[in-house]
Structure 1
């Protein structure tokens, strides 16, 4: 696996690869890799001749300075994992390489920036679109792969691609879960043993809602889902059944998704499940 730390080195290398006709797949990450990330590399290798992973803890998408400081950065382990699954290229820049001093980003995300994650993490998606646009411009991938766990993020990036008319195909990939159902996340390492048991409430809640979808009203399911979380001493920031395309309340039984976010101890976790 080739490792680059500067945009100029990566751009030059990818230009040479592109001239040979190779298709390029991109998997943007913030590191602290797990099997979910590695599954995205696997999907890229199925569809593209060259797979590029990026590891960059993007400061502009954190609205909590302490969360940014605590974000894990096990780069040596990440390199081992990427090498083991056959990733071709890693781009691992520092902040100064990606952002000029005083740089601004004026793209308006729109309604998705005020719903669910947008409501509780103001400015988050502005930072996400800023860095993803930079990476798309730099790598110029044919295909980019994103995990469904960050479903709202996928919708935001999909809108940005449409607004800027970018020539990249987006592929959403299924959530990868632990054996007990907990969605894999870089944040899971922060959970102590008691919190790890509590965290299963997210998956249990989603399963209950999926099993009873259409039998009870959406409002009843949301209320009962919050009650399940409460039984585990968890309080949801949000638990909503919405339309998959716009995240607005819906009565459509064929195009719904349930999304949830809550704190387990000091660790904020999100999850979702397609309905029915």
Structure 2
């Protein structure tokens, strides 16, 4: 994914990570050393000259679906989940700014004292100025996941790919943690992901990516240097795209 000069062939990408990725070995909340490590991964890609935006889930703090399952009204639970993503975004902003990277948190729900509201043209301008953007509060609507928010924002920002950082190094035909014989795909189509229920992202996100021709690259966020390595044409990953 690099040209002969060693520079990434991607100019603008979106990194999607789960809230659980920020927990480290804890069972809940934020683990500051883990947040700092992920920030350093983003820094290494930023140094390549790649424009980076991010979407971070909120599952380490609150999941709307879990709250709904416990009897909470779904819309209220989803809004609580959106607020959890804002907390994670602010933590990541702090870690990135500690590395001297200009960062903006942009939320789909107005909270002017802590973050900017989402205005597409302003967000694009931040990227052009080489600032890292963290999109928070999902789409601003209940019933939509942060996966769908990531695909929506990546499309609006004209990103060339979504990089989804997970605990495994790609997409497998079954859970590799439970099934050692699981096989990893190098490439898989959007329709195969949907038909085989491969769990890359939810169906709405996959369909939106397919309709906009937006590749999804699934890689291990636990591998040091993995994000930059893939942009440098190295490492192990699965790419989801049309044939």
TM-score tier by shorter-chain length is 0.3 to 0.5
Q: Report which of the two has the higher share of helix.
A: 1
Relative contact order, higher structure (CA 8 A, sep 6+): 2
Report the TM-score, using the length of structure 2 for normalisation: 0.36
Structure possessing the higher radius of gyration over alpha carbons: 1
